[in-house]
């Protein structure tokens, strides 16, 4: 069986920054392999498309340009806000804050600098603008259940 639309795929990965080869993430750090429904848009598009056709047990090094991963960095997503908005927060450069938008969505932002009056935050995804390299090993492939297809995601062991 091959990785294809409508299949549930379980795989291990090691994610590296293509610029320096630094390991950024790995499935083993999250308790085991990742499982997804092909075509449900739960993986970055460049990774999913390059996994198509792989078979169980196959390993592959997959390069994904930033434009097909988390996108390019958007300078408009770096903003300065009044420090009073974050009253009582013990700020540190690099800390990640969460905020709720007017529409009720939760967004994450990284503190890049601050003064007594202002805080500069970056709302770009931390991996935006980075070309990525995934070392992928396909653990298993199976047909998605009708429920998984209807729900648009894989269920543990094909259940609910």
Alpha-helical segments (H) within 40-145 = 45-51
Whole-angstrom Cα distance, residue 154 to residue 52? 17
Give the pLDDT of residue 20: 84
Give the pLDDT of residue 157: 63
Beta partners for 8? 37, 142
Give the pLDDT of residue 156: 76
Mean pLDDT by 10 residues, the chain (160 residues): 95 93 92 93 94 97 96 95 90 91 89 95 93 97 92 72
**DSSP conformation letters of 96-110:** EEEEE-TTS-EEEEE
Give the pLDDT of residue 160: 47
pTM for the complete prediction? 0.81
Give the pLDDT of residue 88: 87
Q: Tell me the CATH architecture of domain 75-122.
A: Beta Barrel (2.40)
CB burial class (10 A; 0-12, 13-18, 19+) of residue 149? Answer: middle
Report residue 128 as tokens. 């935006």
**7 to 27, 58, 60, 83: CA distances (angstroms):** 20, 16, 18, 48
**123 to 17, 91, 110, 113, 128: CA distances (angstroms):** 20, 16, 6, 13, 10
CA nearest to 58, candidates 138, 142, 140: 138
Write the pLDDT tens digit of every residue in 93-134.
999 999 888 898 888 999 999 999 999 999 999 899 999 999
Report residue 85 as tokens. 């908005």
Report residue 57 as tokens. 């047990």
Q: Where are the domains of the chain?
A: 7-70+127-158, 75-122
Q: Tell me the CATH architecture of domain 7-70+127-158.
A: Roll (3.10)
């Amino acid at each position: 069986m091959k990785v294809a639309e409508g299949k549930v795929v379980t795989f291990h990965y090691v994610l590296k920054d293509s610029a320096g080869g630094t390991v950024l993430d790995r499935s083993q750090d999250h308790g085991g392999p990742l499982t997804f429904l092909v075509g449900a848009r739960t993986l970055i598009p460049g990774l999913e498309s390059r996994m198509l056709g792989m078979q169980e047990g196959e390993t592959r090094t997959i390069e994904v340009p930033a434009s097909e991963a988390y996108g390019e960095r958007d300078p408009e997503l770096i903003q300065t806000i009044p420090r009073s908005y974050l009253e009582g927060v013990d700020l540190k450069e690099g800390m990640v804050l969460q905020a709720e938008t007017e529409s009720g969505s939760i967004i994450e932002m990284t503190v890049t600098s601050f003064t007594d009056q202002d805080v500069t935050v970056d709302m770009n995804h931390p991996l935006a603008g980075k070309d990525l390299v995934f070392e992928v090993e396909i653990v298993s492939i199976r047909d998605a259940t009708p429920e998984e297809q209807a729900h648009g995601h894989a269920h543990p062991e094909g259940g609910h």
